[in-house]
Structure 1
Amino acid sequence: MSFSLIPNIRLNTVFDIKPDMLLRRNIRLLLLDLDNTLAPYSGQPPSDALNAWKRELESNGIELFIVSNTKTERAGCFAEAFGVSYLNRAGKPSPKMLRKAMILRSKNADETALVGDQIFTDILGANLCGITSIIVKPIRLKNPLFALRYFIEKPFRLLRKREGKKNE
C-alpha cells in the first residue's frame, strides 16, 4: 500500500487489456471503473465490443467487477446489462469498497487489478489498496472541468510507459 499517483500500467482503452497480460501478473479479478472508462457518462448500455471483450477475459478465468463512485442507479443498470457484479458509492480513492469487492470474490491484492480513467480516484485508490493500477484515457472529455482534470493528471500518466512498449 502506498500513496502514489503513478499507475502500474498505462493503456489507451480497456480493449488494450488482454487476458495474457493479466495472467502473466496472476491477475484473476479485474475491478472496473464505470464512467468514462467502460462507457461515457451519458448512460449508454454496454457495447457489443465491450461484451466481446468481457467474454474473452472471462473465458480465460478473469472475473470482472464494477466499482463505481456514482451515487445513482446507473452502475446497477449497467452492471446488470453487462452481466457482472458491482458496488456503487465506492468513495474512491478510499480502498474500502475495493477490499469489499475482493472479499466478495475471495481474491487477494496480488490477484487483483483496477482499471480507471482518473488518477486522483481510481489509481490512488488502487495503489492505497495494494492492487495493480491500470490507467486508460477517458472515453469523452466534453465537460471542460473533466478536460482540466485530465490536463492536471497528464504528468502522472506519462510517468508510466505505455504497456506493450519495451519497459512494462
Structure 2
Amino acid sequence: MSRSLTRTATPGIFRRGNSYVVVVRDADRRQVKRFADTLAAARVLKAELTLGADRGTFVAGGSQTFGEYIERWLVTYRGRTSRGVRESTMEGYRASLSNYGLPFFGRSQLAKIHLRDIKAFADHIASTGATQATVRGYVGAVRVVLATAVEDGLIHHN
C-alpha cells in the first residue's frame, strides 16, 4: 500500500512517510518527482530543478541504460560534422563499445554515468595491459556516445 502525500507549507513539496517529494515540471512541461530526506534538502532540490526548468537546461534523464541507447546509437549515428563519419571509424566504435563499453556500462543508466565512472573505465582498460593510445580510443568511443546523448536531450552534460 502506497503512502499518501501530505502538503507542506512550500508549494510543490510534499511529505511522504519520513521523506519529502519534490514535484516540478521540466522544460517540456512533464511532471517530474524527486526525493529528499529533509525539508531543507527538498527546498534546495526544488530551487535547483525549477531554475533548470526555467532555463531549459533541466533534463529528466529517464531510466534508459547505456546498453539500450547503444543499440539505437550504432544504427543512427552519422557523425557530428558535416562530413559525417567513415565506416572504418564506425567499425572501430562498434568494436570498442561491444568489447569494453557495453560490459562496463551496459546496465548503467545514462543519466548516472559520471566522470568518476569514466575514470574507472579508463583504469579498468589500463589494467588489462592496454597502451595509453588504446585506452584513449576506448574512452573516446564512450565519450562520443555520451556527447550524442547530450544532443538528444537524454543527459545534461558529457
TM-score by length of 2: 0.27
More helix by share: 2
Q: Which has the larger radius of gyration?
A: 2
TM-score by length of 1: 0.26
Query: Which structure is higher in RCO with an 8 Å CA cutoff and minimum separation 6?
Result: 1
